[in-house]
Structure formats: structure tokens, C-alpha cells
Chain A
């Protein structure tokens, strides 16, 4: 058996030269000083392979068009076994590859390994860094959630502000008169999966070829010590580093939840877009240059930084000395790290926390307070099903589906429920997908929609998230079968309007857990609610108008 294997290998090597090439690559001699500091390049290549692998897997279940991309990603996350893991690997891998590429550059920079004759190797490396960032920028849009959409709106505006080339860049990115849309999406997707990967492979090949051509950079004094082969000692170190990086990545993918926010909503005025963490320092720099100077922060400074990076080998032409004596280089790295860290920290610190919004904004119309719990639950389903991505709700914008405040399209609840279940059956030619909710949930949705008029749409759209969430808890626990809210429900227990006048918050919360202890003789069963549900329900009940009899 062994003999057959050997003779097959000999035959293959004779015809292709494969084994000889691999052996030559693996047994290449490297300087004696090589060691753990040189592992980052291999880790970066490994992470690129992981990105390619998980990227192909994602593409097998992904529809690259706005809207559908969101639905297909949600399908990957919720319905495919291991889908969440694959997406997690791709998401965290993207962050990790940026970090590792930067570490690789810092190592090369500190050791002065870009010096003659390795200038070209360094410059190709800088291009690879830019390509890595381009992946981050283009991939960011592909989930088509709010984060993706708004992040890209900002990015494309920055590109548009570039002197001279701005308008052309805008057109190249597919941002026409209508802003970020289908064309932008197609361009970003095309770049992310068709243009960048082959470019990366070519650049990595060129980079590795140059490394091999000039050999791994030696340290001063290396010429006195015999060289050693790449395999196995250095390959072992590379493999261990790769394994550590992989273990970290895998843990992140398993443990850290990757957000998939709401479907992109171009009419959302409350959303605060933030770029990915490795772009935060640029974002913060931008804020330091207000008004007409903005272009300095958005284009001039980053452009100069990239230029300096590319020209680094020509700016530092001194003789190669030991890394510990390269105080200037160390100083540059420390300053860059402090600057980057400082800007990032400020950006993080100044990011407004997303409000849990338990405060009620009484300055805005509060018509939502008068909805019945069923109708309010309908608001929750309306948001959950992203109805507003196709339907206008009285704001005058024209969207795919009809404006839902037009009372002329309202029919009775039974018709609407049938329509939700199979839109094209009730309205031939309708492009609306069926809504998959239970009968009771659909009836809530219908109840809310029937309530909409052009006059009250604004007030109802104002309903805070806690109220919608609270109404869901109210509905799920069938509170309405004993209690009355806004004139709807049974009278077995006390009406819940005006609860905030009668009881304290903590009393109500304790009461849920053990009604009999707080109101002797009560027939209300105890409810075990999660802290979140408890908070939403109580806040919702406390927000109800004092008397529930009138609109």
C-alpha cells in the first residue's frame, strides 16, 4: 500500500512538480531570529479563508436585493441549523481580520522590515489593508437593516463630499437622485463578492511572492547565526497562533449575539447611525471639522494618512537597527495607538444610549393612550411585521402599497384577516406577502388598522415601544378577561385606568407575583412575568388615561 502511494506521489511530482513546490515552500530557510512575532501574516491569510468559506455558505441562502436580503438573512438566523454560527463567524471574522492585519503592519513597522529591498512588499500590504476595509464598508450594507442602511447613507455622503471626484464617486456607488437604494445595493454586493475576493487573492499571492523573493526580513546580527527551515518550527508557531485566533473567533460567534436590527427604514427619523468600531476614529475625526472644513476630516486627513503609510519605507531610510533601539518607530506606534484609542473612546462615550423610552413624551400627540389593549397589541404586530416598509401611514410619502390611513380601503375585520392570510387571493395581483400570525394576533392588527384615519395617524404612530410591548403581555396573559381598559374588557376585577393614582409601581409589581397577599380576598391568580415584561406592562398600565370612558 505504502509502496503504491509513494510511486503515485513520484508520478504526480514528475508530471506536475507539486510535491517539489510544496517542499521548497515549506523548507525555505528563514532567519534565526524569526519567531512568534512573525505569525500575524499567516493568521490574516487564515482569517481571509474563513471569510471566504463562510461567505460562500451565506451566499447559498441569501437574496442579494434590498428587503429580500433582510428576510433571507433572518431565515438563515432563525430557521437554518448552524445558520447563526456561520453568520457569527463571518461577522466577527470581519472585525478580527482588520485587527490582525493592523497587528501585522505594526509588527513589520516596529521591526523596520519594510526597508530596502522590501518596499514593494510593504506597499502591496498597505493596499491589502485598504481592501480589507473595503470589505467592511461594502459588507456593512448587505443585511439591509437600519444599521446597514443608515451607516451606508453616511458613507456615501462622505464620498460625495470629496473634492472634484465626489459626483463621480457618487455615481459609481450607485447613489443616484433617490439616495441609497437598489443600485447602491447591487454595486456594494458586486464589489463585496465579485470584485474584492479575486483582487485579494491576487494581492496576497503577490505579497507572499515578494516575501519569498526577498526572504523573511532578518534582524541585525542574524547573519552570524545559521538559518533554519520554515517547517516545522515556524509553521508550528503559525498554527498555534491561528488556532488561538480561531478559538477566540468561534467563541465570539457562539456567545456574542450579532444584531439584526429592524428592516431598513428610510423614514426612521430617530435612528442614530454608527459605523463599525474600526471606523469610529474616522467618524470622530469628522466631528472636529465643522462646516466647510469638513472635507479636511472626511477626505484630506485620511488621504494623507494612507499616503504616509504607503511612503513609509521612503520616509524612514536609516540603517536597520534592533527593534528595541527603534525608539522613533515605537513612539509613532504608541502615538497612533493613543490617538486611535482616544478618538474611539470619545466616539463610544458620546454615542447616545438607545432609550428604553419609559418616559412619556407628553409634548407629542398622545392619541395612542386611548387605544384598547387589543389595538395597542396591533401596533406591536404592525411594527414587528415591518408593515411600514411598504405602506405609508399618512405621512404623504408614496410607497409600494396603499396608504393605510385611507379610510376608503378599510373594510370589515373579517375581510382584513382573510387578506392578511392570503393577500393575492383577496386582491388578485397583490405583491404583499402573507402575514404569519395567529387568528387572535391578526384580529388585533385589523382592529388597529381600522382605527387609523389621516387625522390620528401621527398620534398613533407615537405609541412608545413599552406600550406596544406591554399590550402584548396584557394580551398574552388575557388580562382583559377580568379587567377593563379604556372601556373594553370584563368587569370582574377593577378597571385599570387610573391605576397610577391608586397604587405605587412597586405595589403593582408585587401584586402580580402574589395578589392574595396584597389584596386579601382577591381571586386574581399570581403571574410570573419576566422583569422586562413586568416593566413594560406596568409602565403601559401607568400610562393609561385616568378615566377610561372617553376618547
Chain B
């Protein structure tokens, strides 16, 4: 290619330079291949969510006919929680509201601000979170305070007289 002035010290023969370059690139190339073959699966293993083995789960929470309209009721039920390799049966809570048109909404029991437990105040007719004074309407909408969004809701369906709850829908979180 272009003319390079001859260096002061004698160069090793060109063939040896080529071989040396081959050695060095082989060392880096093979090293990179091994690192990728180990690093990529490791990242996948740590970052991919576990395969979901269960279809939707519906848990019976109670009798809908016993609910009074527009009077939120705290109801507890048991559900299985898949936690890694463990499935545990645990107590869960929902605030259940039957509206005047008989439609039913079940709210998750945690304030959308920082996860404190809130409660229904009969006198004021609103949900109140005592931690940082967030207020929610009977529809779950934010009336005041630092809460960033309306209360989270469970999927619900009614089977005869039984109210069934499914998964809690949290915006921005996958199932």
C-alpha cells in the first residue's frame, strides 16, 4: 500500500507478523464467542419472566345477593399465589362495591400511592388512605391527595349468586 519509511530496528520477517496477527485475532475472536455463548443465556435466564404455567385463576369471594348497593364492603378470600417455585395459599382482600345498577366492582386493597391499606369512610362517603391522605370516590377515582391514579380493580365475574375475582389489573404491569 503506501510507502512507509524503513524503521531503524530490523523488522521480523513479514510472515511472522501475519502469523502473530492471526494468533491475536483468534485469541480475541474465540474469547468473544465463548463470552457471548455464556453471557447471552445468562441474561435471558435472569431477565426473562418465568413461563406462566397457569391459566386464569378465579376465586370465589362471596354471595352477591348479600351486598347492599353503594355500600363498599371489605371482603376476604383465599387465593393461590405462584411465587417462583412455590405456590402458597394466602389470604387476600378486596373492597367490593355494588352499584345501583347491580354492576359490581372489586378494588385491590392497596392505595395506588405507596401501597398503604385504605378504608371506606361511611360518613364522608369516600375511600381514605391514612398514610398520606389520599381520597378516592366510590368509583375509585382520585378525589385528592398524592395518589397518582384511580384504585386498581380485580377482574370480576358473577356465577349464579357467587362473585368470582380474577387477577388484579395494575396499569403498566404485565400479568
A and B pair up: yes
A residues in contact (CB < 8 Å) with B: 50, 53, 57, 60-61, 63, 68, 71-72, 74-75, 78-83, 85-86, 89, 232-233, 235-236, 239-240, 242-243, 246, 250, 421-425, 433-434, 436
Return chain A residues, CB-CB under 8 Å to B38.
50, 53, 89
**Are B87 and A434 within 8 A (Cβ)?**
yes
Interface of chain A, main secondary structure? helix
Which residue of chain A is the closest to B81 with respect to CB atoms?
A: A434
Return chain A residues, CB-CB under 8 Å to B89.
422-425, 434
A-B contact pairs, 23 of them (CB 8 A): A50-B38, A68-B85, A75-B50, A75-B84, A79-B50, A80-B48, A82-B48, A83-B45, A85-B45, A232-B23, A232-B24, A232-B27, A235-B27, A236-B23, A236-B26, A239-B27, A239-B30, A243-B30, A250-B37, A422-B89, A424-B89, A434-B80, A434-B87
Residue B41 CB within 8 A of the other chain: yes
Which residue of chain A is the closest to B24 with respect to CB atoms?
A: A232
**Are A433 and B88 within 8 A (Cβ)?**
yes
Which residue of chain A is the closest to B20 with respect to CB atoms?
A: A232
Return chain A residues, CB-CB under 8 Å to B37.
246, 250
Residue B9 CB within 8 A of the other chain: no
Return chain B residues, CB-CB under 8 Å to A53.
38, 42
**Are B85 and A424 within 8 A (Cβ)?**
no
Given A72-B85, A423-B89, A433-B87, A240 and B26 touching (CB < 8 A)? yes
Return chain A residues, CB-CB under 8 Å to B54.
436
**Are A242 and B30 within 8 A (Cβ)?**
yes
Residue B6 CB within 8 A of the other chain: no
Which residue of chain A is the closest to B40 with respect to CB atoms?
A: A82
Residue B86 contacts which of A71, A79, A81, A85 (CB distance < 8 angstroms)?
A: A71
Q: With the chains together, A245 CA to B133 CA distance in Å?
A: 63
**Are B53 and A436 within 8 A (Cβ)?**
yes
**Are A239 and B26 within 8 A (Cβ)?**
yes
Residue B4 CB within 8 A of the other chain: no
Q: Quick one: CB contact mask for B27-56 with A, threshold 8 Å, 1 for yes?
A: 100110110011001101110101101100
**Are A425 and B24 within 8 A (Cβ)?**
no
Which residue of chain A is the closest to B53 with respect to CB atoms?
A: A79
**Are B85 and A422 within 8 A (Cβ)?**
no
**Are B85 and A74 within 8 A (Cβ)?**
yes
Residue count of chain B within 8 Å CB distance of chain A: 30
A-B pairs, top 7 by smallest CB distance, nearest first, are A75-B85, A232-B23, A82-B41, A236-B23, A425-B78, A82-B45, A79-B50
Given A71-B86, A74-B85, A81-B51, A422 and B27 touching (CB < 8 A)? no
Which residue of chain B is the closest to A238 with respect to CB atoms?
A: B27
Given A53-B38, A71-B85, A240-B30, A424 and B48 touching (CB < 8 A)? no
Residue B78 contacts which of A242, A243, A422 (CB distance < 8 angstroms)?
A: A422
Q: With the chains together, A423 CA to B87 CA distance in Å?
A: 11
Return chain A residues, CB-CB under 8 Å to B86.
68, 71, 433
**Are B23 and A235 within 8 A (Cβ)?**
yes
Return chain B residues, CB-CB under 8 Å to A60.
46
Residue in A71, A78, A243 whose Cβ sees the most chain B Cβ within 10 Å: A243
Chain B nearest CB from A436 CB (Å) reads 7
**Are B87 and A82 within 8 A (Cβ)?**
no
**Are B80 and A236 within 8 A (Cβ)?**
no
Q: With the chains together, A85 CA to B23 CA distance in Å?
A: 30
**Are B45 and A81 within 8 A (Cβ)?**
yes
Return chain B residues, CB-CB under 8 Å to A436.
53-54, 87
Return chain B residues, CB-CB under 8 Å to A74.
85
Return chain B residues, CB-CB under 8 Å to A424.
78, 89
Which residue of chain A is the closest to B33 with respect to CB atoms?
A: A243
Q: Quick one: CB contact mask for B94-105 with A, threshold 8 Å, 1 for yes?
A: 000000000000
Chain A nearest CB from B10 CB (Å) reads 16
Q: With the chains together, A410 CA to B109 CA distance in Å?
A: 37
Return chain B residues, CB-CB under 8 Å to A434.
80, 87, 89
Return chain A residues, CB-CB under 8 Å to B88.
433
Which residue of chain A is the closest to B30 with respect to CB atoms?
A: A243
Residue B44 contacts which of A78, A81, A236 (CB distance < 8 angstroms)?
A: A81
Which residue of chain B is the closest to A58 with respect to CB atoms?
A: B45
**Are A242 and B45 within 8 A (Cβ)?**
no
Chain A nearest CB from B33 CB (Å) reads 7
Given A71-B86, A434-B87, A79 and B51 touching (CB < 8 A)? yes
**Are A243 and B80 within 8 A (Cβ)?**
no
**Are B41 and A85 within 8 A (Cβ)?**
yes
Q: A82-B44, A86-B42 are in contact. List 18 more A-B contacts (CB 8 A).
A: A53-B38, A63-B85, A74-B85, A78-B53, A79-B51, A82-B48, A85-B41, A89-B38, A232-B20, A232-B27, A239-B31, A240-B26, A242-B30, A421-B80, A422-B79, A422-B80, A424-B78, A433-B88
Q: With the chains together, A18 CA to B33 CA distance in Å?
A: 25
Chain B nearest CB from A316 CB (Å) reads 36
Residue A81 contacts which of B34, B48, B78 (CB distance < 8 angstroms)?
A: B48
Chain B nearest CB from A520 CB (Å) reads 43
Q: With the chains together, A423 CA to B42 CA distance in Å?
A: 36
Residue in B30, B33, B53, B79 whose Cβ sees the most chain A Cβ within 10 Å: B30
Which residue of chain A is the closest to B21 with respect to CB atoms?
A: A232
Return chain B residues, CB-CB under 8 Å to A50.
38
Return chain A residues, CB-CB under 8 Å to B51.
78-81
Return chain B residues, CB-CB under 8 Å to A68.
85-86
Q: With the chains together, A277 CA to B42 CA distance in Å?
A: 28
Chain A nearest CB from B13 CB (Å) reads 15
Q: With the chains together, A61 CA to B48 CA distance in Å?
A: 13
Return chain B residues, CB-CB under 8 Å to A89.
38
Q: With the chains together, A89 CA to B34 CA distance in Å?
A: 13
Residue A242 contacts which of B34, B79, B80, B85 (CB distance < 8 angstroms)?
A: B34
